[in-house]
Amino acid sequence: MGRWVKWWENGIKIEMVLENNPKNLEENLKQRGVGNSNPIGLFAFGTTQLIYSLYLIQIANITNNQVGLGSALFYGGIIQVLSGIYGLFSGKTLSGFWISFGFIYLPSSGIIDSFKDDQVMLRNAIGIYLTVWAIFTFLMLIASLKTTILEISTITFALTVFIFLTLANFTGLNVFSRIAGYFGGKNF
């Protein structure tokens, strides 16, 4: 039988039963059979990106992306955030892009409505938002070069999508959104 221990690690109080006295939290998690959170986090990101990409290329003549909010806020959003929080304990993290992006388009947030009199300002504001995510994604691409081809390609396609969506918002040209949609679909 194990022993119950309590300790603080990186400002977080940890309480658990240690079996066979592992040396640290990571060994204890492996011993207890706790899985890797990255697959569900990446799947949440990828499926939400695929849905949004299909809207961008206007498949089946769909031009309204509001149905994708459920995925952006909950599956691509909350699941990705929870996976990222779990990842903090195992040294791997994910971003919270979809939950923040989905919130912009959530009607009750009032963000889109606050720009109803100036659509150019809305496009520019979203363009700045996407530029920041493109910079962050570029930095993650550099950091991912020590990982697997799958992670590198996922991040590369995400960066390409951010670049084309940024161009679409700053120029107002829909062709860039469609190109982003094609690259986003390739990511899945």
Mind listing the pLDDT tens digit for each residue in 128-165?
999 999 999 999 999 889 888 988 988 899 999 999 99
Quote the pLDDT of residue 20. Answer: 53
- Residue 48, both tokens: 């939400």
> How confident is the prediction for the chain on average, in pLDDT?
82
Higher pLDDT pick, 33 / 87: 87
Checking if the pLDDT of 1 tops 60, the result is no
Tokens 């109803």, located at residue: 116
Instruction: Tell me the pLDDT band of 43, cut-offs 50, 70 and 90.
Output: confident
Nearest to 93 by CA among 15, 47, 36: 36
pLDDT for residue 96: 79
Per-residue tokens: 139: 């930095």
pLDDT band for position 88 (50/70/90)? confident
SS3 state at 9 = strand
Yes or no: say if 124 and 131 are a contact pair by the CB < 8 Å rule.
no
| 134 within 8 A of 156, measured Cβ to Cβ | no
Contact 105, 148 (CB under 8 A): no
List the one residue out of 48, 9, 32, 52 whose CA is nearest residue 180: 52
**Cβ atoms of residues 98 and 119 within 8 Å:** no
Q: By mean pLDDT, which of 80-89, 91-100, 133-142 is the weakest?
A: 91-100
Give the 3-state secondary structure of residue 23: coil
pTM of the entire predicted model = 0.72
In this structure, which amino acid lies at residue 67? V
pLDDT of residue 169: 95
Residue 93: burial class (beta carbons within 10 Å; 0-12, 13-18, 19+): middle
CB count in 10 Å sphere of residue 157: 20
Query: What pLDDT score does 99 carry?
Result: 87
Query: Considering all CA atoms of the chain, what is the largest pairwise distance in Å, rounded to the nearest integer?
Result: 67
Question: Can you give the pLDDT at residue 133?
Answer: 94
pLDDT at 26: 62
For residue 33, give the amino acid letter: G
Q: What share of the chain is helix, strand, coil (3-state, %, to 5)?
A: 70, 5, 20
**Per-residue pLDDT at 21:** 54
Split at pLDDT 50, 70, 90, the class of 17 is: low
pLDDT reading at 87 higher than 60:
yes
* Own/partner pairs, 92-96, CB within 8 angstroms, 24+ separation: 92/36, 92/37, 92/38, 94/37, 94/38, 94/41, 94/42, 94/45, 95/133, 95/136, 95/140
What pLDDT, on a 0 to 100 scale, did the predictor assign at position 125? 95
